[in-house]
Chains A and B, each alone.
Chain A
Amino acid sequence: MISATKFTQPASKAARHFAGIRLLSSSPIVAAEKNANSSRPKADRTQSMAFTKKEAGSKRTRSGTSTSVNLSAANPAYYTDPPKPKLDLLSKDTATASRLNTFMQIDDGFLQNTGKGRYPGHLAADFKLFGKPALLYRQVTQTLVDQMAQNAETAPKRATVLDGQNGAGKSAELLKLATVAATSGHIVIYALSTLPWVNSSRPYGPGYKSDLFVQHELVNELLRSVVAVSRDALNKVPLGRSVTLGKKTLESEKTLADLIDLGLQTPSLAHDALDQLLDIARTQTVVPVFIGLDEVNTLWCQTSYRDQEDSILPANRFRLARSFLPFFEGQSLAKGWVVGTTSYAEVRFMPKDLKTKLNPPPAIPIANPDLVRDPGVSELSFDVLKVERLSSAEAWGLMQFYQKANIVTTPVTEGLVAKKWVYANGNPRQMFAGVTTYF
């Protein structure tokens, strides 16, 4: 008999259901959760918490360090700060054989003064991922640094041009060399790209009473970079003779820095100032000079500029190219070094005959006396240094750094390095592409 006052559990499951009893009640669990959630703010479903909306009207995808993710609201488990490996700054003191196969940081101030935020070759993508401008110190780098130290005492009779495949590291080597030269007290005249000199992207005009064309803006930029990087060295070199630029005359006691400052004051005098600078700098023996031109093949190419009759202009019709051509055609410095690098990226600015001379076909074993006498076959007027593929030790150093910079997340083993090195054929740019394919 069931008591009216006492509640007893019914016998069957169905009966229990109809009696309103649940064996496992979720209500306490739900209630507990509600109590816990009451302290948390209600989710605003009208606004995204992690992702910010792209700006209307701009269809270009944003690149660089900024992303469309609102990092302040992002999940910290997934969005972490990139690692910043500590690197030594590349300079005259740190450029030693003990740093072989390690990454060294390039002085950002030097890059800002010479490039204004631009980087030579394809290095922009690399530096962006690294978080800072850093390059591998290779054996070829050590060779070049030793040669530069030697040439600081006695300059060679010919200029040197670094040649190699696309992505071999020619522009990187020149950048490292220029950085070391700047810290060594050289007068550094470094152009990280000579493409703007010939690709019709910068203003130009006919020269006054001359058949040469002038590019005042480019020369102005070059002079600014020279004085920003090497002011101390320029101040040590007196002019040695009175120099007249326009209506102003500088006494012989004045220095090269004063000459450049005068040239910068009046854009139309920039070319004259550069010519005087090169003329005095190459003959003086007080301070060694480093002239570095990237994509030096443009000095011999057909430019994209046109004259008043709409004919294409060769590079030697421009005063800026004319100022540097003699250094690659036999004129030497008293102290210092002239280095250039080739570039095969823009094929239209690589003259065919220069390409053939740099990469001659296999030599025919039988000497052809007619060819020897042929005046069209002439030797190059500069020395060529080939930048070869990475060695195994250099590849190991490269991958080690990639792991430190979180570009490679898997453990770096000999097998992995060998695989990447072989697939890329030792080419640094291809190795970089191989590890960043899915970025």
Chain B
Amino acid sequence: MLHLLGVNLPDQKVVSVALTYFYGIGPLTARKICSRLSFHKECKLSELTEGQLNQLSGVLSEMTIENDLKRQVAANVQHLRQIGTYVGKRHAMGLPVHGQRTRGNSVTAKKLNGKMLRKYSTVADTAFTRQAMGMFQSPLSKHQN
């Protein structure tokens, strides 16, 4: 296994596939990186020389991936919550953000949305605590009371 920028990459994989193991790099970005560094399609990680690995590290260092990207995404979601947008509230409630139905499905949204917000909370993540913390309140009801 090759350890590159905090990620263990499998040696025997093709470079363009191995690069997708980074958070923030998909097939298209991986292909663009390989084209930029002139790695052919069937080039495996084990075939790269030290100079090529250094070039690869250099290119990856310029990009926002892994923890930097996670931090950026979390900060974006936090910002949306702080300025009180609809999207922010939906993240906070752990509900779908893009207008999907909640009568059924929405399992993934309930599982994943708001993780970045919940990550910073020390209170148990239950419907009761969310209600207690007033996250279900509508913007108007705050002023009515």
| A residues at B contact (CB < 8 Å) | 199-206, 213, 304-310
- 8 Å CB contact of A310 from B35, B41, B42: B35
Residues of chain B within 8 A of A205, CB atoms compared? 38
Tell me the chain B residues, 1-57 only, with Cβ under 8 Å from chain A: 31-32, 34-36, 38, 40-43
Bound together, the chains give a CA A205 to CA B39 distance in angstroms of 8
Q: Which secondary structure characterizes the binding site on chain A?
A: loop
Residues of chain A within 8 A of B43, CB atoms compared? 203
**Contact between chains at B40 and A310 (CB < 8 Å):** no
Interface contact tally, CB-CB below 8 A: 29
Q: How far is the CB of B28 from chain A (nearest CB, A)?
A: 9
**Contact between chains at B35 and A201 (CB < 8 Å):** no
- 8 Å CB contact of B38 from A201, A204, A304: A204
**Contact between chains at B35 and A203 (CB < 8 Å):** no
Q: How far is the CB of A221 from chain B (nearest CB, A)?
A: 15
A-B contact pairs, 15 of them (CB 8 A): A199-B41, A200-B40, A200-B41, A201-B40, A201-B41, A201-B42, A203-B40, A203-B43, A205-B38, A213-B38, A304-B41, A308-B36, A308-B38, A310-B31, A310-B36
Given contacts A201-B41, A206-B38, A310-B35, 15 further A-B contacts (CB under 8 A): A199-B41, A200-B40, A201-B40, A201-B42, A203-B40, A205-B38, A306-B34, A306-B35, A307-B35, A308-B35, A308-B36, A308-B38, A310-B31, A310-B32, A310-B36
Bound together, the chains give a CA A206 to CA B34 distance in angstroms of 13
The range of chain B's interface size is 10 to 19
| B residues at A contact (CB < 8 Å) | 31-32, 34-36, 38, 40-43
Q: Chain A residue with minimal CB distance to B43?
A: A203
Bound together, the chains give a CA A203 to CA B47 distance in angstroms of 10
Q: How far is the CB of A307 from chain B (nearest CB, A)?
A: 7
Bound together, the chains give a CA A104 to CA B38 distance in angstroms of 44
Residues of chain A within 8 A of B31, CB atoms compared? 306, 310
Bound together, the chains give a CA A205 to CA B32 distance in angstroms of 15
Q: How far is the CB of B27 from chain A (nearest CB, A)?
A: 13
Residues of chain B within 8 A of A204, CB atoms compared? 38, 40
Residues of chain B within 8 A of A206, CB atoms compared? 38
Residues of chain B within 8 A of A309, CB atoms compared? 35
Residues of chain A within 8 A of B36, CB atoms compared? 308, 310
Bound together, the chains give a CA A199 to CA B41 distance in angstroms of 8
Residues of chain A within 8 A of B35, CB atoms compared? 306-310
Q: How far is the CB of A161 from chain B (nearest CB, A)?
A: 27
Residues of chain A within 8 A of B34, CB atoms compared? 306
**Contact between chains at B40 and A305 (CB < 8 Å):** yes
**Contact between chains at B38 and A202 (CB < 8 Å):** no
Bound together, the chains give a CA A146 to CA B59 distance in angstroms of 57
Q: Chain A residue with minimal CB distance to B42?
A: A201
Bound together, the chains give a CA A63 to CA B42 distance in angstroms of 23
Bound together, the chains give a CA A203 to CA B43 distance in angstroms of 7
Q: Chain A residue with minimal CB distance to B41?
A: A200
Of B31, B34, B41, the most chain A CB neighbours within 10 A belong to: B41
Of B31, B32, B38, B43, the most chain A CB neighbours within 10 A belong to: B38
Residues of chain B within 8 A of A304, CB atoms compared? 41
Q: Chain B residue with minimal CB distance to A205?
A: B38
